[in-house]
């Protein structure tokens, strides 16, 4: 956020709360009063990292913040963001959402040239590329090096007196621009604007760079835009339902996914339930389309957080067990249609079906509001090998047996795209990345 007349500390702090669902491992803030950048970051949730006196001495009119979901490099405080460096371009602080497809190659080349990395993240690569660029100003430096990075990335950079933002040429990860109290704010999701009372202005386009300073805001093309490929999994699972991505409300998209799924299914039951939180919108769409009662079959312990984005399988399994409990009175003796938004590793659904059966459910029919996830993601979701994806090893019937469901149905790829396109947005021509469902990768190593 950049607001010359304000201390932006609390805006960034509360904005990060709104984005907590995007990363739960570490949180951090860099802030500048125009003369120096101060950075505070630690492992933990926003509420754990910024408490007591941690926010003291953090004041200024220019700031960036980050919540980390690790996709490259281990989950450690060394890898926490923002990453603040000092180089020939001055002091720069960097935050990154996404994942560089060519991170390993770039790191190897830089290391061979003598670069000493402080972290094991892909995000640090930009810092070194910039420091080694042939220019002495950050904007020209970025123009020179940005195209060396392939994959999915949204970056925010701050110097003491400037805020810079850009998205990769395909626009895998979202970024929106807002206005508040005489300043500008940028966020991966619009839900943070609502939290801090900011007004939504527009989304940043794929390949676009915006620079904000005391003179105002300027926009340039940093990278020639390529086929727009917004991550469709943002709509399915990752983003918060109250956010709008390219103007499409996430809750409404999920509801349409549920309606489309209901159309493709021929199951009937006594009640429809969702798996809290992320599938509740889709479940309400299924119930509405099938004209069946929508019931609370499971309750989520709100202190556990998301399990899919935890950094290892042991933590994910423990998390699921503690997180979801059946509402016995609702499920006992019932034929249930249970809707979830996705089956990725299969950790969640296997556990829940058992829980529902133990609670006396008569039949458990599973409807999934996305197609089977068969292919790894290299652009910012932490599923980088086929081996961990249940649908890359087993067909639908084998998955049904493995998870112990009475029936199992996934949404078709065409149904998913139809549902997303049906919801009005800002740019109807935007395309989506579907690679984890269809194996067609918008960016490969050779690009
Ligand atoms: O097949 P899996 O590997 O288990 O992954 C998929 C599950 O994880 C996600 O929920 P999560 O609990 O992370 O988030 P939520 O609380 O927002 O629903 C998602 O909604 C599925 O339930
Ligand atoms: N979730 C993210 O955006 C991750 C950013 C970066 N790839 C990291 O692992 O730190
Ligand atoms: S592969 Fe899947 S999760 Fe990754 S960016 Fe594409 S749609 Fe999103
Ligand atoms: Mg979920």
Tens-place pLDDT, residues 254-304: 999 999 999 999 999 999 999 999 999 999 999 999 999 999 999 999 999
List helix spans (H) across 359-428: 390-393, 396-403, 413-422
Whether residue 369 is predicted with pLDDT greater than 70 in this model: the reply is: yes
CA angle 174, 434, 287 (to 5 degrees): 90
Domains of the chain with CATH codes = 9-226 (3.60.20.10), 233-438 (3.40.50.2020)
The percent of residues in the chain predicted with pLDDT above 90, rounded, is: 92
Whether residue 376 is predicted with pLDDT greater than 80 in this model: the reply is: yes
Give the whole-angstrom CA distance, residue 407 versus residue 161.
Answer: 58
The percent of residues in the chain predicted with pLDDT above 70, rounded, is: 99
Give the whole-angstrom CA distance, residue 274 versus residue 272.
Answer: 7
Q: Could you tell me the distance, in angstroms and rounded to a whole number, from the CA of residue 355 to the centre of ligand 3?
A: 30
Question: What is the ipTM, given to two decimal places?
Answer: 0.98
Q: Could you tell me the distance, in angstroms and rounded to a whole number, from the CA of residue 350 to the centre of ligand 4?
A: 13
Count CA atoms within 13 Å of residue 134 on its CB side.
1
Dihedral angle of Cα 69, 411, 368, 21, to the nearest 10 degrees: 20
At residue 20 the predicted structure's pLDDT band, cuts being 50, 70 and 90, is very high
For 82-98, what is the mean pLDDT?
A: 98
Is 436 labeled as ligand-binding?
yes
Atom of ligand 1 nearest to the CA of 305: 16
Q: Is 287 near ligand 3, meaning CB less than 6 Å away?
A: no
Cα separations in angstroms, 100 against 155, 222, 239, 255, 320: 11, 17, 20, 32, 29
Cβ atoms of residues 316 and 308 within 8 Å: yes
User: Tokens 């990725």 appear where?
Assistant: 344
Q: Could you tell me the distance, in angstroms and rounded to a whole number, from the CA of residue 378 to the centre of ligand 4?
A: 21
Cβ atoms of residues 142 and 209 within 8 Å: yes
Cα separations in angstroms, 124 against 3, 9, 153: 27, 24, 13
Q: Is 233 near ligand 3, meaning CB less than 6 Å away?
A: yes
- Per-residue pLDDT, 140: 97
- Per-residue pLDDT, 429: 64
Is 433 labeled as ligand-binding?
yes
Query: Whole-model pTM?
Result: 0.97
Model pLDDT for residues 321-351, shown as the tens digit of each residue = 889 999 999 999 999 999 999 999 999 999 9
Tell which one of 83, 98, 383 to mutate to probe ligand 2, the residue whose CB is within 8 A of the most ligand atoms. Answer: 98
At residue 427 the predicted structure's pLDDT band, cuts being 50, 70 and 90, is confident
Whether residue 181 is predicted with pLDDT greater than 90 in this model: the reply is: yes
Alpha carbon nearest to ligand 1 atom 10, residue: 308
Helix axes 347-358, 396-403, angle to 10 degrees: 50
């Amino acid at each position: 956020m950049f607001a010359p007349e304000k201390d932006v500390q609390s805006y960034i702090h509360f904005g990060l709360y709104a984005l907590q669902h995007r990363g739960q491992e570490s949180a951090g803030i860099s802030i500048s009063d125009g003369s120096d950048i101060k950075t505070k970051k630690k492992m933990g949730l926003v509420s754990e990292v910024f408490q007591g006196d941690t926010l003291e001495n953090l004041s200024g009119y220019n700031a960036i913040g980050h919540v980390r979901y690790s996709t490259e490099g281990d989950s450690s405080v060394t890898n926490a963001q923002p990453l603040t460096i000092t180089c020939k371009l001055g002091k720069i602080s960097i935050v990154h959402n996404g994942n560089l497809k060519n991170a390993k190659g770039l790191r190897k080349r830089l290391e061979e040239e003598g670069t000493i990395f402080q972290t094991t993240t892909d995000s640090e690569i930009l810092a070194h590329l910039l420091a080694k660029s042939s220019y002495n100003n950050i904007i020209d430096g970025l123009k020179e090096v940005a195209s060396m990075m392939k994959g999915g990335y949204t970056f925010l950079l701050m110097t003491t007196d400037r805020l810079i933002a850009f998205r990769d040429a395909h626009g895998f990860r979202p970024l929106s621009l807002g206005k508040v109290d005489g300043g500008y704010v940028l966020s991966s999701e619009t839900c943070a604007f609502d939290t801090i009372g900011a007004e939504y202005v527009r989304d940043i386009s794929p390949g676009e760079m915006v620079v904000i300073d005391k003179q105002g805001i300027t926009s340039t093309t940093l990278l020639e835009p390529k086929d727009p490929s917004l991550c469709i999994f943002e709509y399915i699972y990752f983003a918060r339902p109250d956010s709008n991505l390219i103007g499409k409300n996430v809750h409404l998209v999920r509801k349409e996914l549920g309606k489309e799924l209901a159309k493709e299914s021929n199951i009937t039951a006594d009640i429809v339930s969702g798996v809290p939180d992320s599938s509740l919108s889709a479940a309400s769409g299924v119930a509405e389309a099938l004209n069946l009662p929508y019931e609370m079959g499971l309750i989520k312990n709100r202190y556990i957080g998301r399990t899919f984005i935890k950094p290892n399988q042991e933590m994910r399994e423990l998390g699921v067990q503690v997180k979801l409990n059946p509402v016995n009175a609702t499920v006992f003796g019932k034929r249930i249609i249970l809707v979830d938004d996705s089956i990725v590793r299969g950790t969640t659904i296997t556990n829940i079906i058992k829980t529902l059966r133990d609670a006396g459910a008569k039949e458990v029919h599973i409807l999934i509001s996305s197609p089977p996830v068969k292919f790894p993601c290299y652009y910012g979701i932490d599923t980088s090998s086929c081996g961990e994806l249940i649908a890359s090893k087993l067909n639908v019937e084998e998955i049904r047996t493995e998870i112990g469901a009475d029936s199992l149905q996934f949404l078709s790829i065409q149904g998913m795209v139809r549902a997303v396109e049906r919801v009005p947005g800002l740019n109807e021509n935007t395309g989506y990345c579907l690679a984890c469902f269809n194996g067609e990768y918008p960016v490969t190593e050779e690009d």
